[in-house]
Structure 1
Amino acid sequence: MKPLLETRKLTRNFGGLRAVDQIDFSLMPGEIHALIGPNGAGKSTFVNLVCGRIAPSSGAIFFDGKDITTLPAHKRVRLGIAYTFQITSVYAQLSVFDNVALAVQRTLADGRGEGHIGTGVMEVLERVGLTNHASVAAGQLAYGHQRLLEVAMGLALKPRLIILDEPTQGLSDGEIDNFNTLMAEIAASATVLLIEHNMDVVMQLAHRITVLEAGKMLAQGSPEEIRANEAVQRAYLGTGI
């Protein structure tokens, strides 16, 4: 099986700072892959490179075997890459329903969806547990529910790869349990790249884990391998991995 996503020597410099340093990375179809590391490790910069929000200083990015290194972000979305941001990017004045409807309309325009918009919206809201909030203005939702709305907007794009940046931040324990169930369901039809600080979530969900530190890949492996890795233990001393 060939990787769905692959980076080769991916590097990004900001002046004298090398935020991402020659990262070789692969993501297999149907995988839930967690990307972890301390603040400033380069996680968000790495996924911004993958999504096309910033350009690499050097290296290459491949999606389904196609070189997308210079492809603009909106064209990567059309290929099936969806990214939810660490800071919520919902339209605060629009209802929950309308936020998701915008994403559903995009799949219809790109030829990746079919059927009635309203049906598609409610199906996605049901998956994330926001059906009862459909008519509420997105800006009035609790922070955790705004994060779930972002996930819903990503799912509405019918992605082949969905990248989730701190999706459980602000969720209650019960909502996190529901989120874990949802991720397992999503992995049946899409590939998931997860940036997450909640190690319980990471260890429960991830098939593989990549650890970044100071822009470099510190370790990669199964949850069991990462938990036993001495270098990771040193980098995360006291964090409970």
Structure 2
Amino acid sequence: MSPLLQTRGLSRSFGGLRAVDSVDFSLNEGEIRAIIGPNGAGKTTFVSLVCGRIAPSAGTILFEGVDVTRLPAHQRVKRGIAYTFQITSIFANLSVFDNVALAAQRRLIDHAERGGSRFSPADLRRGVASALERVGLADRAEQAAGKLAYGHQRLLEVAMGLALEPRLLILDEPTQGLSDAEIDGFIALVRDIARTATVLLIEHNMPVVMALADRITVMNNGAVLAEGTPAEIRADSAVQHAYLGTPDDD
């Protein structure tokens, strides 16, 4: 079975800095994969290359076996790649419902343009309600998004990603700002998401990583340092030296 996502020699330079350095990466469908690493390791730059927010200096990105290296971000969304940002990117003046509705409407329009049935307002409402229910924000649907606590804004962004019904959902620091109770709920949420989508997350909360990830990719200085199961990564001396034994801040 071919990987859902694959990169070959993927690189990105900013002036003299090589933020991502010839990364070969493979992600299978249905997997929960975590990317970890110290400050400046290139994690966010790597996933930004995957989702099309920035263009690579070299290398190739394949999604479902198709070369998407030069596709713009919105075309990758249509193909099933959704990305939540490290810094929230909600529409603060719109309601929680309307934020998710924008994402759900995009998916429904794309489906109709590909020859699917036209959607009704009821279809849109159902899609929004389902996404909000999954992240625990159904009771805040009418609240202005900018009035949410920061942790709830993070969950709203996840709901916006879910409303796209992606094949691949990329989460960048999703537990940042969440309380311990909310983190427990988030772990359950990701396991639920993984029943229908592949999940790629950047995360510094190591208990979350160890609880969720099928495999972990460790990046350092823009390159892949190690890759393996949580037990293998925990026991890797190079990883311990570069990351696990030092304060993590990104």
* TM band (smaller chain): over 0.9
Change (3 A) 1:194 1:97: same
AA in 2 matched with 1:88: T
The residue that corresponds to 1:52 in the other structure is 52
Distance 1:15 1:124 in 2: 41
RMSD: 1.3
What are the equivalent positions in structure 2 for 1:108-123 lying under 5 Å apart? 108-111=108-111, 116-123=123-130
What are the equivalent positions in structure 2 for 1:144-223 lying under 5 Å apart? 144-223=151-230
Name which of 127, 136, 146 aligns with 1:139.
146
Superposition deviation, residue 238 in structure 1: 4.0
Distance 1:238 1:14 in 2: 26
Distance 1:184 1:218 in 2: 26
AA in 1 matched with 2:139: N
Distance 1:123 1:51 in 2: 24
- The count of residues paired between Structure 1 and Structure 2 equals 240
Deviations 1:86-114 (A, max 9, x none): 00000000000000000110011100785
Distance 1:39 1:202 in 2: 17
Superposition deviation, residue 239 in structure 1: 4.7
AA in 1 matched with 2:5: L
The residue that corresponds to 2:70 in the other structure is 70
Name which of 225, 229, 234 aligns with 1:227.
234
Deviations 1:58-105 (A, max 9, x none): 110000000011111110000000000000000000000000000110
The residue that corresponds to 1:31 in the other structure is 31
The residue that corresponds to 1:94 in the other structure is 94
Distance 1:97 1:72 in 2: 27
Distance 1:172 1:202 in 2: 16
Distance 1:191 1:169 in 2: 21
Distance 1:169 1:10 in 2: 27
Q: TM-score, with normalisation over the residues of structure 2?
A: 0.94
Distance 1:216 1:108 in 2: 38
Secondary structure, in 3 states, of the residue corresponding to 1:41? coil
The residue that corresponds to 1:18 in the other structure is 18
Superposition deviation, residue 116 in structure 1: 1.6
Identity across matched positions, percent: 69
AA in 1 matched with 2:84: T
AA in 1 matched with 2:46: F
Secondary structure, in 3 states, of the residue corresponding to 2:111? coil
Distance 2:104 2:156 in 1: 13
What 5-or-longer segments of structure 1 have no aligned partner? none
Deviations 1:145-164 (A, max 9, x none): 00000000000001000000
